[in-house]
Amino acid sequence: MRVLGIESSCDETGAAVVDETGLVHADVVASQIKLHAPYGGVVPELAARAHVKNIGHVVRATLESLEGGLASIDAIAVTQGPGLVGALLVGTSLAKAMAWSLDKPLVGVNHLEGHLLAPFLRRRPEDAPGLAFPYVALLASGGHTAIYRVDSPTEIELVGQTRDDAAGEAYDKAAKLLGLGYPGGPVIDRLAAKGDPAAHPFAVPMQRKKGLEFSFAGLKTALARKIEREGVPADERTLADVAAGFQEAVVRSLVETSIRACKELEVPRLVLTGGVAANSRLRALATSRCGEEGIALVIPPFSSCTDNAAMIAYAGVLELLEVGPDDLTIAPYSRDPQRKRGRFGPDGRLIPRKPPR
């Protein structure tokens, strides 16, 4: 079975074809980084307009690079959320039109589930995922930071998430405060590699609290106050040290909380996924700490970590195999309706909010 996946949840326009083994037969992505860089973040209206401009070219290029072309496609999968609603509408509109005109099944895919299943993608026929269920997954990106227990493609449990900013969002805000440009993650990662995190240390968020939650708003505020007191470092060495100190606090929070989740859930496998999983310090620290704790670590290649249509196509394949083509529903939405919000207890359960007095 070959499924064409379409991704347009944020600022990447993607199309890919994947089969039931996870093998990626074609994968094309059009980035909008240069478009949004002057604004220091993604502008939803500009993103939607860029998707309209790019999506036809991206899908066409994907099919042209595929042996058998459009005739070899058995179904179409598309990101239906969460994401920017205008951007989502571009992808879902095209997917619906193609499915109707070709009389093919249409699968609506949760973007986050795509990330959680990305480790099973194979970019070459000889590649093997080397991953077994169950596993704990840290999903860290510009819009999401959460920990999941994954028992099967259809049994996924949220066990903890950020109370405020996502890790990638914190990187973008920090880069803006330091005058480093957008996107913040890659530029801080490169700069921090030249610095000493001990020269300007920051407290690791949430490490004195029980549970599996994250919080990065306070860390961002600590950096902002430091800059208010001392100004943006004028020399590159000090700037690199500050970037390294900030990054170390973010990365240690992500890694230590993820390892704690593996221990509490008694699952000796950890997956890093999402755009932040491309961070070199996160990969290095996770490799080191998992080795110390006897936890098997799986990190997908960069192309599978960032937003891509291959993970959407593969999630669509699994959905089709699970429920069949007659029980599929699709509707674009900008927030995940299944996402739990609020505070979590040590066991990962949601703590109900107290009613207002």
pLDDT score recorded for residue 156: 92
Pairing of strands 135-140, 145-152: antiparallel
**2-123+304-323 shares its CATH topology with 135-300:** yes
pLDDT score recorded for residue 324: 72
**98: closest CA among 32, 6, 219?**
6
How deeply is 201 buried, as exposed, middle or buried, from its count of CB atoms within 10 A (0-12, 13-18, 19+)? middle
pTM confidence score = 0.87
pLDDT tens digit string along 283-311?
A: 999 999 999 999 999 999 988 999 999 99
**323: closest CA among 27, 118, 75?**
75
Q: Which amino acid is at 4?
A: L
pLDDT score recorded for residue 208: 75
What span, in angstroms and rounded, lies between the C-alpha atoms of 202 and 305? 27
Residue owning tokens 């891509």: 308
What span, in angstroms and rounded, lies between the C-alpha atoms of 323 and 288? 40
Checking if the pLDDT of 210 tops 90, the result is: no
Task: Measure CA of the first residue to CA of the last residue in the chain; give whole Å.
Answer: 56
Q: For the residues 146-168, what does the mean pLDDT come to?
A: 93
Q: Does the CA dihedral 272-275-276-277 come out positive or negative?
A: positive
Q: For the residues 122-147, what does the mean pLDDT come to?
A: 89
What's domain 135-300's architecture? Answer: 2-Layer Sandwich (3.30)
pLDDT score recorded for residue 68: 86
Checking if the pLDDT of 242 tops 70, the result is: yes
pLDDT tens digit string along 248-267?
A: 999 999 999 999 999 999 99
pLDDT score recorded for residue 125: 83
Checking if the pLDDT of 347 tops 60, the result is: no
Q: For the residues 199-227, what does the mean pLDDT come to?
A: 91
pLDDT category at 211 given cuts 50, 70, 90 is confident
Q: Which amino acid is at 285?
A: L
Q: How many residues does the chain have?
A: 357
Q: Where are the domains of the chain?
A: 2-123+304-323, 135-300
SS3 label, residue 351: strand
Peptide bond into 300 cis (omega under 30): no
CATH number of 2-123+304-323: 3.30.420.40
pLDDT score recorded for residue 290: 97
For residue 292, what is the DSSP state?
H
pLDDT category at 333 given cuts 50, 70, 90 is low
Checking if the pLDDT of 322 tops 90, the result is: no
Report how far apart, in Å, the C-alpha atoms of 157 and of each of 153, 270, 340, 350 are: 11, 14, 10, 12
Token code pair at residue 261: 């989740």
